Chains A and B, each alone.
Chain A
Amino acid sequence: MATEFDLEGLCSSVLPVHGQDALVLSIDGRPFRVGLTPGRATGEVVLEFGEERERVFAVQRGGIHFIHFRGRAHRVEAIDALARARKRAVAESGEESLLAPMPGVVVRVAVEADEEVEAGDLLMVIESMKLQTSIRAPHDGRVAEICLGTGASFEQGATLVRLETRDEDSEAEQAKERER
């Protein structure tokens, strides 16, 4: 079974294959002979990669690998199959929650619930670390719910606004919902 990892927005599959005297990984179908030994410092590891040996710093938290490699920090995310399924479910329900990209405070709410909006319309202005960010509608739709009012503070990932895709199917469903 292969595992998927995301690096700079691109997904790669990594499949372990035992070699005779070393571990071989098949990365996107290409074989690489690899090995890893602990380094001297905390977080330090020595990567054996083909003929090369390199000192690397690697730590992880919640399925995200933070790696300092050749003078630069990188982020590799182990993709959890369950999380992917959840994302797909949201996409299929026709309702989208706009999540806070970082913790902060609501500065201004620019729309009202039930309001029809077009892609690019300003929904909310939030502030984090003294910087203001505009939350805009990613597509045409209807504001289903404004989850936070002006002055409210929130954590990263909190739902700011729920937006409903404007299409006939969902409108028909809503009508049914109301009847019930």
Chain B
Amino acid sequence: MTKVPGIGKVLIANRGEIAVRVARTLRRLEITCAALTHPDDTGNPAAAFVDEACPVEGESAISAYLDIDQIVSIAKRIGADAVHPGYGFLAENADFAEAVERAGIRWVGPAPETIRLMGDKIESRRFAAAHGIPVTPAASEEDDPASFSERAKEIGFPLLIKAAAGGGGKGMQIVRHPHELSHAIDLARSEAKRYFDDDRIFAERYLDEPRHVEVQIMADEHGHVVHLGERDCSIQRRFQKLIEESPAPAIEEDLRERIRAQAVLLARAAGYRNAGTVEFIVAPDGESCFLEMNTRLQVEHPVTEMVTGIDLVEEQIRVAAGHPLSSGQDEIRFEGAAIECRICAEDPERDFQPAVGRILLLRPAKGPGIRFDGGIAEGQDVTAAFDPMLAKLIVHGRDREEAIVLARQALAQTVILGCTTNLAFLERVLAHPDFISGRVETGFIPAHRTDLALPPLAEEERAALLSVAALTDRDFMASVEAVPEPYASMGDWQN
């Protein structure tokens, strides 16, 4: 008997960092955990970590991890009681959720029809608006394709063109001037088709200097819905989050309470089940608009776990098993501040271009209040096949100031050698006076480009680095042994 009655074995339909993270909780709950593997996916630490590694066949690892029929038949074959999708891959695929449930296996997530409703960014906006939650002015192409660009212009500039099936910043274009509109529409449509196989797009008002604030909710089958506070995810590059924190800094209390209440209201109205996140855009004047709802665990869920002390994966498994939530709203406490930094294989000095290489040395920071959720191992090759995120560093302090100091120390202590990463860049963001004072918005990184640039090395530092390289270089040291006698007897070098 495991610690969650009804769940003895779970198949994690995922790989890497999130598969390891889910498996860690399952292990603590004494639940047998299985995850997917593919022969090409050599750098997958989950394969060795879980109790059962389940090979999936497919031309590429990615196509294998997206193979619904095969994954469902694996779940049946190994006798899984539930499937946890993690995030990415099939996590927001309603057909997959449906296939899992049809096979008589519990789906760790909301009902397929809820995934479908929230997955359609146009439908979900209408749903939110119908329940009295403000949304940004928008126009959908499919309402009347012929007048789409006219209707988009009426919204006013700047505006965003987005994919209806979108997410992760893909298929998204900012349009600042009317003459850019038709090009942006074409581009967004082709990206939407490419990434989501669905070319429906819509236009939405773009608020300048917006903050991205989201609310974590959790719901069970017994009508309980709670929020677990909000996260600020404004520090982004290419519309993708880089640093997240909880609670959101420097916002009015009534705004905090309002979006928390709206998130619970939306989840209740949708008959939501399991973990979900309601995303809002917050304008500088404190106005907030519903953006979208993500029907899965989020990458940044650990900051919520750290301030509430609640293991969200455990709650997800309990809810999937049909048990009620472990805490009511009044029992949920928020303590201190937590910050998550996404460590990515990319070069901030070259416009965040993805980097590749072999992880030759890995020494994560350790200590009280520090959590390192990694998907990498020493000797692993970082390739172009998967997302550039290598690991997440999460810290928890008594207050935000302490969390920032701790995060900066932990970033500096984390050693990853062999592949270019954004570790030092993240540290510079945290050290920026505007970040420290909570003046964050989604354009923070481009706006502070100069301040965040790599500082030049001091001459002494340069010499020290060159010394280390020379003294550990076999060829160089061989030449030291072979220094001709005149030099050797010259004594101290004189300039």
A-side residues, CB < 8 A to B, are 1, 3, 5, 7-8, 12, 14, 16-20, 23-27, 29-36, 41-43, 45, 47, 49, 54, 56-61, 65-76, 78, 101-105, 128-131, 133, 156
Contacts and interface: CB of A to CB of B under 8 A. Distances in A.
Contacts, number: 180
Nearest to A129: B354
A74 B411 CA distance: 15
Interface residues of B, number: 57
Contacts of A101: 353
Contact of A60 (B462, B465, B472): B472
B421 to A, nearest CB: 7
B95 interface: no
Given A19-B493, A34-B471, A72-B423, 6 more contacts: A19-B492, A43-B360, A76-B465, A102-B353, A129-B384, A129-B388
Contacts of A129: 345, 354, 384-388
B417 A128 contact: no
Contact of A26 (B354, B360, B471, B493): B493
A78 B475 contact: yes
Contact of A45 (B472, B492, B494): B472
Interface stretch (B125-133, B393-401, B482-490): B482-490
16 contacts: A5-B466, A14-B470, A23-B480, A35-B471, A42-B361, A47-B464, A67-B469, A70-B461, A71-B411, A72-B423, A72-B424, A73-B421, A78-B476, A101-B353, A102-B354, A103-B384
B466 A76 contact: yes
B450 interface: no
Interface of B: 170, 238, 345, 353-356, 358, 360-361, 363, 383-388, 411-413, 415-418, 420-421, 423-424, 427, 457, 460-473, 475-476, 479-480, 483, 487-488, 490-495
A74 B465 CA distance: 8
A43 B461 contact: no
A16 to B, nearest CB: 4
A14 B356 CA distance: 29
Contacts of B470: 3, 5, 14, 16, 25
B361 A1 contact: no
A102 B424 contact: no
Contacts of B457: 7-8
A30 B412 contact: no
Contact of A103 (B356, B418, B465): B356
Contact of A3 (B387, B463, B475, B495): B475
A27 B384 contact: no
B476 A65 contact: no
